[in-house]
Amino acid sequence: MADTSFDVLIIGSGPGGYVTAIRAAQLGFKTAIVERDYLGGICLNWGCIPTKALLRSAEVFHMMQHAKDYGLKADNVGYDAAAIVKRSRAVSKRLNDGVGFLMKKNKVQVVWGEASIDAPGKVTVKASKSEAPKGALPPGAYQAKHIIIATGARPRVLPGLEPDKKLVWTYFEAMVPPSIPKSLLVIGSGAIGIEFASFFRNFGADVTVVEVLPQILPIEDYEIQTFARKSFEKQGIKILTNAKVTKLDKKADSVTATIEADGKSQQLTVERVISAVGVTGNIENLGLEKLGVKIERGIIKVDEINKTSVPDIYAIGDVSGPPMLAHKAEHEGVVCIEAIKGLHPHPMNKLMIPGCTYCTPQIASVGLTEQAAKDKKLDIRVGRFPFVGNGKAIALGEDQGLVKVIFDKKTGQLLGAHMVGAEVTELIQGYVVAMNLETTEEELMHTVFPHPTLSEMMKEAVLDAYGRVLNM
Amino acid sequence: MPTNILMPALSPTMEKGNLAKWLKKEGDKVKSGDVIAEIETDKATMEYEAVDEGTLAKIVVPEGTQDVAVNAVIAVLAGEGEDVKAAASSAKPTSPKAAEAPKPAPKAETPKAAPPQSAAPTKTEAPTPRSDGNRIFSSPLARRLAKEAGLDLQRVSGSGPHGRVIARDIEQAKSGKGLRAPGAAPPTGPSIAASMSDQQVRALYEDGSYDFVPHDGMRRTIAQRLTASVQTIPHFYETVDCDIGRLMAAREEINAAAPKDKDGKPAYKLSVNDFVIKALALALQRVPDANVSWTEAGMLKHKHSDVSVAVALPGGLITPIIRNAESKSLSAISNEMRDLAARARAHKLKPNEYQGGTTSVSNLGMYGIKDFTAVINPPQSTILAVGTGEERAVVRNGQLTVATIMSVTLSCDHRAVDGALGAELVSAFKALIENPVMMVV
């Protein structure tokens, strides 16, 4: 008879859940993790990771098409959609196996099935449709002193725009396209929508992006938004903002969308539609209503260490509110389990969570946008540095981009950083570390950045904020 | 030429004080002897009198400023016929007059020698070295915010990783949260018990279930000195019961015989405590080896018995001193004590009236406390904790009888006073207090 009693039981093995499980095990808790579909959750299997694999194919393809620019010859450049998807799936599988290995290594017990909480301390796991991996415990009754809900999110569905898996896709279908559609309508211009728009455009699809708000990438700084939009449009992506898809007429192998923009209605016929209108937390069928766990507008209410309104039940990641990002879930989970252990961790500062979008050009940001800082009535200094002033960017053939920083004028606190251009998703962390260490402009100016790197632009932007820019 | 008004040193050891209140405004005429400000030291508030005449041109240090270094410019006085405006504009924190006195701290970029400790009003931006040579870990932003707020980083408890002072700590410190006593080093090292952070303490109580009262200088001084006392002084205690029957009778007689003035007010009214002060003072003269202060280099053997007496105040306590108590009459001790206690309650004691002393008396008899132990008031080596005088059943020559008994407990610094020596002192005290006639000799 397998042991069914644990110190900590985590529901969901996405990046939030499995990282929390490892940390719990490190802290000496007897830990179990319940999963119904894929170890690693959406992130590893249907989100962050496989899309990066797809986008890498797109990037290499793009480079090959432009081989001549670098003095290289690459004739008859082409692609095999099935092989691109196959590679992406293989990447996911490798990481999915990796999570299984990590659970075993850390002696975290995997339980296979759908969990619901009967009472604090009591969880029932029912069989799920997918096959259990070797060594997982079967459905049944489980007990745990602390229960952590990390069930993640799924695509949001808008009435009239319901995905059908065939013509109207969510990220699930968009990730495994049988072929590259000739034309594509992407509804929503957040990270998911823009990344798919970028991917399919790269392989020649005629892509239109519709955004209900006045600007694409709604959470980014307006200068970055404007820069990115120009760049996308130059690549041939059509962008309609302040626009709404009101109707989808499905034919055998195409969809005619009715789009309302500026009070005018227009029709657009495309082969496929991707609905990327956001995600919504998986809070159903967990027994939360019955337990009295407080939920507000689809988000489980938690305190700063992710305690819910019911003792010994915690919620982390997408279900506990935005930003719905893997790295937010991971850190929340670590803070939560350390708090349970009594280590008094610092609650996460949500203003210091970076965000990355892996389109071409890449976008990365952290902290306040210029507008948000102004809305807070902060007195600010803004510095900018364009990629055209950076030697490494020019050498790479990537001279389009911008680094922008925002400082508090009085204290020199770095309030926000916003970047668009090649590799910025790998650069942003420099600013995130700086913000977390509470450096001011002075320390950033006194930091030696290696030459020649793209990172030099980060220092130049800081210098620019204080009227000391060198290479412009 | 305009005259700089400097932060006064109210006692020889004073390094800094708080500017509690300005009693003159900018533009006010000031005569020599006018009280212009109130300066708060660790235990008392003193009036600051003007020496020169003129017009108060500029107040440099606003009231309510804490930890103003001695000899820092706090205001500028324009002499007669001088332009007040010009004088005001000349106001800047300049070097104090004394040549060896601390200079204003250089700006961070000036590579001059570091200023002496407890320097001028401005603070250096670089991480402040702690007295034990360890650096205070703090974020650059926290340092900048602290500088702007005029906060000493040494006084801020850090809530960041490994106790690092971060921006949030400064924000909280501005409202008094997590502020340590000035000069108190952050608790480090194995000799000091791990204490909880302010945040940890607060986390135990629901918001709104308590009122937050920021500490004043006295509270901080008590906390700092007595923590240091218990942590550094090896205390031991010796208790003895004293029969004060004869003392009570003598006191009654003496008080009854006190001459009265024309309002019928007696010239003195002795309390039991006055006898205790006198008896302890005389006992120390009889056991002079116990009238000592420990220093690392050697023992200070005091010649006089300067008896500090704990006086409770709202929000704290202070220990005014009856100096040379061994040679003072009971009535003199009594009247002096009454005056000191009254002025202590009004926060009007001068530092030399409560700093020093060679022993202390803490009497909680009036609260009905039977016996207790007191914490030594360094650098003294002894303190006598006095309980209530009450009728108790005692056995004498095999017979049960009733006597008025007062229990006293002597706390001793074992570095300076050993057990037998302490016992000698206690015995000498007991002999005197039980036979008050001996005090007259």
Question: Which residues of B are less than 8 Å from A412 in CB distance?
Answer: 141, 144
How many structural domains compose chain B?
Answer: 3
Q: Structural domain of residue B144, as residue ranges?
A: 140-216
Q: What is the mean pLDDT of residues B156-178?
A: 84
Beta carbons within 8 Å of A1's beta carbon, 6+ residues apart: none
A242, A262 Cβ separation under 8 angstroms: yes
Q: What is the pLDDT of residue A438?
A: 94
Region of B352 on the Ramachandran plot (φ > 0 left; ψ -120 to 50 alpha; else beta): alpha
User: pLDDT tens across B331-366, in order?
Assistant: 999 999 999 999 998 888 888 899 889 999 999 999
Average pLDDT, chain B: 82
Closest CA to B439 of B328, B337, B355, B343: B328
Question: Which residues of B are less than 8 Å from A379 in CB distance?
Answer: none
Task: Flag whether B190 is in a domain.
Answer: yes
Q: What is the pLDDT of residue A107?
A: 96
The CATH number fitting domain A361-465, selected from 3.40.50.920, 3.40.50.300, 3.30.390.30, 2.160.10.10:
3.30.390.30
Q: What is the pLDDT of residue B363?
A: 95
Q: What gap in Å lies between CA B2 and CA B416, rounded to an integer?
A: 52
Q: What is the pLDDT of residue B108?
A: 39
Q: What is the pLDDT of residue A133?
A: 92
Q: What gap in Å lies between CA B56 and CA B248, rounded to an integer?
A: 57
Question: Which residues of B are less than 8 Å from A410 in CB distance?
Answer: 148
Which among B144, B160, B166 has the least Cβ separation from residue A440?
B144
Final residue in a domain of this structure, among B185, B216, B247 = B216
Beta carbons within 8 Å of B189's beta carbon, 6+ residues apart: none
Helix axes B272-286, B330-345, angle to 10 degrees: 110
Task: Flag whether B332 is in a domain.
Answer: yes
Q: What is the pLDDT of residue B134?
A: 56
Residue A267 token pair:
């029709």
Assigned CATH for A5-154+280-350: 3.50.50.60
Are B39 and B158 found together in one domain? no
- Find the closest chain B residue to A344 by CA distance: B200
Beta carbons within 8 Å of A60's beta carbon, 6+ residues apart: none
Asked if pLDDT for residue B66 goes beyond 90, the answer is no
pLDDT band at B12 (very low <50, low <70, confident <90, very high): low
Are B171 and B62 found together in one domain? no
Final residue in a domain of this structure, among B89, B115, B130 = B89
Q: What is the pLDDT of residue B71?
A: 80
Instruction: Residue B163: give its domain's CATH number.
Output: 4.10.320.10
Task: Flag whether B358 is in a domain.
Answer: yes
Are B238 and B201 found together in one domain? no
The CATH number fitting domain A168-277, selected from 3.10.560.10, 3.30.2270.10, 3.50.50.60, 3.40.630.30:
3.50.50.60
Are B195 and B80 found together in one domain? no
Q: What is the pLDDT of residue B358?
A: 96
User: Does a cis peptide bond (omega within 30 degrees of 0) precede residue A181?
Assistant: no
User: pLDDT tens across B49-65, in order?
Assistant: 887 788 888 888 888 88
Beta carbons within 8 Å of A368's beta carbon, 6+ residues apart: A351, A376, A378, A406, A415, A416
Asked if pLDDT for residue B151 goes beyond 90, the answer is no
User: pLDDT tens across B14-52, in order?
Assistant: 778 888 888 888 888 888 778 888 888 766 777 788 877
Are B253 and B205 found together in one domain? no
Final residue in a domain of this structure, among B51, B70, B89 = B89
Residue A22 token pair:
């490892």
Are B384 and B337 found together in one domain? yes
Distance between A174 CA and the closest CA of chain B, angstroms = 43
Q: ipTM strictly over 0.95?
A: no
Task: Flag whether B294 is in a domain.
Answer: yes
Flag whether the pTM goes above 0.80: no
Task: Flag whether B95 is in a domain.
Answer: no
Q: What gap in Å lies between CA A180 and CA B182, rounded to an integer?
A: 71
User: pLDDT tens across A355-411, in order?
Assistant: 999 999 999 999 999 999 999 999 999 999 999 999 999 999 999 999 999 999 999
The size of the A-B interface in CB pairs under 8 A is 29
Per-residue pLDDT of chain A (472 residues; tens, 9 = 90+): 578 999 999 999 999 999 999 999 999 999 999 999 999 999 999 999 999 999 999 999 999 999 999 999 999 999 999 999 999 999 999 999 999 999 999 999 999 999 999 999 999 999 999 999 999 999 999 999 999 999 999 999 999 899 999 999 999 999 999 999 999 999 999 999 999 999 999 999 999 999 999 999 999 999 999 999 999 999 999 999 999 999 999 999 999 999 999 889 999 999 999 999 999 999 999 999 999 999 999 999 999 999 999 999 999 999 999 999 999 999 999 999 999 999 988 889 999 999 999 999 999 999 999 999 999 999 999 999 999 999 999 999 999 999 999 999 999 999 999 999 999 999 999 999 999 999 999 999 999 999 999 999 999 999 999 999 999 8
The answer to whether B414 is a known catalytic residue is yes
Are B279 and B242 found together in one domain? yes
Beta carbons within 8 Å of A37's beta carbon, 6+ residues apart: A45, A128, A130
Question: Which residues of B are less than 8 Å from A411 in CB distance?
Answer: 141, 144-145, 148
Q: A346–B160: do the CB atoms touch at under 8 Å?
A: yes
Q: What gap in Å lies between CA B207 and CA B204, rounded to an integer?
A: 9
Task: Flag whether B242 is in a domain.
Answer: yes
Q: Where are the domains of chain A?
A: 5-154+280-350, 168-277, 361-465
With pLDDT > 90 as the criterion, what percentage of chain B qualifies? Answer: 42
User: pLDDT tens across A70-90, in order?
Assistant: 999 999 999 999 999 999 999
Are B314 and B248 found together in one domain? yes
Length of chain B: 441
Distance between A42 CA and the closest CA of chain B, angstroms = 33
Are B211 and B238 found together in one domain? no
pLDDT band at B192 (very low <50, low <70, confident <90, very high): very low
Q: B167–A346: do the CB atoms touch at under 8 Å?
A: no
For residue A288, count CB atoms less than 10 angstroms from its CB and return exposed for 0-12, middle for 13-18, buried for 19 or more: buried
